[in-house]
Structure 1
Amino acid sequence: MKLLVGVKRVIDYAVKIRVRPDNLGVVTENVKMSMNPFDEIAVEECVRLKEKGVAKEVVAVTIGPKPSSEILRTALAMGADRAIHVEVADGSTVEPLAVAKVLRALVAKEQPSAVLLGKQAIDDDANQTAQILAGLLRWPQAAFASKIAVAQDKASADIVREIDGGLETVSVKLPAVMSVDLRLNEPRYVTLPNLMKARKKALETVTPDSLGVDITPRLEILRVEEPAKRIGGRKVESVDDLVHKLKNEAKVI
C-alpha cells in the first residue's frame, strides 16, 4: 500500500504577519517559513501507518519555488520514503484547483492507495484542495479526519470526523482522498541526525509543464488589508444597561 501526502511551505504559525506596502499580499522576505501544521499531521499519520505495517511506502509531494525543498527534507526526516518537488517560479501563485490538478497527475503516475492532505493551509485557509482532488479523481473523500483505521484487507478505511453534533464515522473504499484535522495525532519531533540523513537523500524534481498541468491563476487579488483594530471592552452596570447598549449603540438587537 502506497500513500501520497501533500505538504506546503507557509509562513511559520508563530510569525506576526505584515501586509506588503503595495497591499497585494503579505511580506515573505526574511520571514521564517515552515511546513503547514495540518500537513505535518498528515505526514505523521502516513508514517504511523507505515510503522504499523499498513503502508509500505510514503511519498511526500510539495508544489512551490526552490526553497520549498526544505519542507520535503523535513518530511523525509519524519519518515517519508521519497519526495517529489513540483518546482514553480519564485513568487508564483498556485491556487487550490491547480494544486489538485498537479496532484491528479502525480496520482496517475504513482498509483497510491490513498492521498492524505492537511484540511487547509494556514496562509490562505481555503480548505478546497482535498475536495477538488477527490472530484477530479472521482474517488471517495473523507474530510477533517480525527482518526483513521484501515481495514485488514486494505480495501477500505473508517474515518472518524468531528461535526457540530459530536463525532461521525464514515467508511470509504480505497483508493480515497483524506484531509486531516488537528486531533488526529501529535507530530514527532524531527531530530538533527534524521534531518542530516534526509539532506543526503535525492529529491525528484518535476515541473507543472512536464506533468501537462497549466497553473495559471484564475483569481486576481485586488487588495490585502490588516483586520480592523479591536475596540476595547466596556463594563456595564446592569443587564438593562447591557441591553440598552446592544440595542442603541451596537445595534445588534
Structure 2
Amino acid sequence: MKHQPAHKPSSRLSAWIAVVAGGLYFLLPLLATFEFSLKMLREGYSLEAYKLVLQDPGFQQSFAYSALMALFTIVTGILLVAPTAFWIQLRLPRLRPLVEFITLLPLVIPAIVIVFGYLRLFGSDAWLPLTGSERGTDLLLVCSYVTLALPYLYRSIDAGLSAIDVRSLAEAAQSLGGGWRVILLRVIFPNIQSALLSGAFLTFAIVIGEFTMASLLARPAFGPYLQLIGANRAYEPAALAIIAFLITWAAMGLLQVAGRHRRALRDAAASE
C-alpha cells in the first residue's frame, strides 16, 4: 500500500494561496479603475464616461486607423517570418540560434531608438524619403510595428513548425509536384494555423497599445490618442483603459477558441 506524501496538503494550500494572491494583485487595480470610470456623474454610478468615449470621433478614427495598421502588420509579418522560419527549420537549422538572437533585439533596443533609426534611413533627407507623404509614413509605421512584434511572431510560428514534421510534409508535397509556394500555402500554413493566429493576436494587441513609434511619426493611432485623453481628462482615460483591456483579452479569448477548435478537429481526424 502506497503512502501519500505528508506535505501534499500543505503544498496544495500554498499553490492556492499563490493563485489567489496573484489574482488579487492583478484584479484589484483593474476593479478600482473600473469603479473610478463609473463615477463621472455625482448622482451615482453610470456609464457616461464610456458613452462619451465611444461617441468621440477621435476614438473611432484612431482605433480604426490602428486596427488597419495592425492588419497590415500581421499580413506583412507573417509573409516575412513564416517562410523564413520554415526555411531555417528545413534547410538551415544551424542558423536558428542566430535568427533567434536577431529576433530578440527589439526587446533589448528601445522603441524610440528603432524609430529614430528609421527616420535617419527614410526621413525627408534620406536616399529613400518615406516620410514625405502620408502613405509613405504609414508604410514606415507598419515596418516599425513588424520589427516590434518580431520576437512574439517568430516564436509563435517557430513553435508551431517545431510541433509538426516539416521535412516529411515538404518532401511529400514535392513528390506530388508541388512548388514552394504551394507547399507553404496549402501544406505548412494549414498545419500551423493555431501558431499563426497566436502571433496575429499578439501582434494586434501590441499595435493597438503602442505609443512611441506612432507619436514620433505623427500618425493618428490609438496609443497617442490614449495619451492625449489621459493628459486632459479624468474619467475617460479610466474608461479607455478598461476598453483597451477588454479588446486585448477578447483577442486572447479568440486565440483560445481557435486553438480549441483546431485541437478538436485534429482529434476528430485522428479518431476516424
Considering fraction of residues, name the structure with more helix: 2
Higher normalized contact order (CA 8 Å, seq sep 6+, divided by chain length): 2
Considering fraction of residues, name the structure with more strand: 1
Structure showing greater radius of gyration is 2
Q: TM-score range by the shorter chain?
A: under 0.3
* TM-score, normalising length: structure 2: 0.22
